[in-house]
Structure 1
C-alpha cells in the first residue's frame, strides 16, 4: 500500500508543544508559467505542485514554501521541506497543526481545501 498524500504527525508526548505536523507528499514541477503556480492535481498518494521558479539555488523550494503558506494561511517559517531538497519528489511539513476531534474528518477537509485551490488550466 502506498503512503497517503497527507499524513498527520501527532505531537510528541512530554513535549512542550501541544500541536502536531502535517506531512504532504508532493511532486514539484518547476519553471511553469506564473498563472499556473499552485496545486495542479491531488491524488490519494501525491499532490502535484507547479511553481514558476527554476530549480536552482533553492528558488523552487522557496516558491513551494510560499504556495503552501498561502494555502494554509500560516507563516513561511511554519512550512518546511523535510525530504527531497534537491528532488522533485518532496515531503513538506506544515508545523503547528492542531487537529481537534476526528483526525480522518480533519484530513478529508484538508483534501477538500486543497482541491478547492487547484489551478485551473
Structure 2
C-alpha cells in the first residue's frame, strides 16, 4: 500500500494545488493549540474548539492561515469535514514566491513554515 505524503503538490488541468493531510485533535487546551508535529504522513494539529457544528474545522483553517501567512479563503477542506483526518487544499499560486520555484523548494518551504522555522 502506498503511503500518503503530508504535503503534496498536485497538478489539475491548468492549476496546481498543494494538499496538506492533517490529523486534528479537537478539544485540546488553549496552551496546546497549534501545529504539534509534521511527519511524513500528516500534519498534526491541536485545536481548542470542539468537533461540533464545524467549529474545529474553522479553527484548523485559522491556524493554517496564520501559520502560512495566507488568507483563510485560499484554504479549502477537500476531504474529512466530519473526521479527524482531513485533506486541505491550497492554490499553489498563493504560496509561490517566484514562478521559478521548483516543486521540491515549495514543499520544503511550506514544511519549514509549518514547523515554525
TM-score normalised to structure 2 length: 0.86
Given the alignment of the two structures, is residue 31 of structure 1 paired with residue 27 of structure 2, yes or no? Answer: yes
Pick the aligned partner of 2:63 from 63, 67, 70. 67
Q: Which runs of 5+ in 2 are unaligned?
A: none
Alignment of 1:43-82 (within 5 A): 43-82=39-78
Could you say what secondary structure the match of 1:8 adopts? strand
- For the 8 Å contact 2:68–2:114, the answer to whether it is kept is no
Alpha-carbon distance between aligned partners in 1 of 2:42 and 2:79, rounded to the nearest angstrom: 14
Alpha-carbon distance between aligned partners in 1 of 2:102 and 2:6, rounded to the nearest angstrom: 18
Given the alignment of the two structures, is residue 90 of structure 1 paired with residue 91 of structure 2, yes or no? Answer: no
Could you say what secondary structure the match of 2:110 adopts? helix
Over aligned residue pairs, what C-alpha RMSD do you find?
1.7
- For the 8 Å contact 2:68–2:113, the answer to whether it is kept is no
Question: What is the match of residue 104 of structure 2?
Answer: 104
| Superposition deviation, residue 11 in structure 1 | 5.3
| Superposition deviation, residue 105 in structure 1 | 2.0
Alpha-carbon distance between aligned partners in 2 of 1:11 and 1:70, rounded to the nearest angstrom: 26
Could you say what secondary structure the match of 1:10 adopts? strand
User: Cα deviation per residue 1:13-63 (whole Å; 9 max; x = unaligned)?
Assistant: 3xxxxx522110010000111121110111111111000100000000000
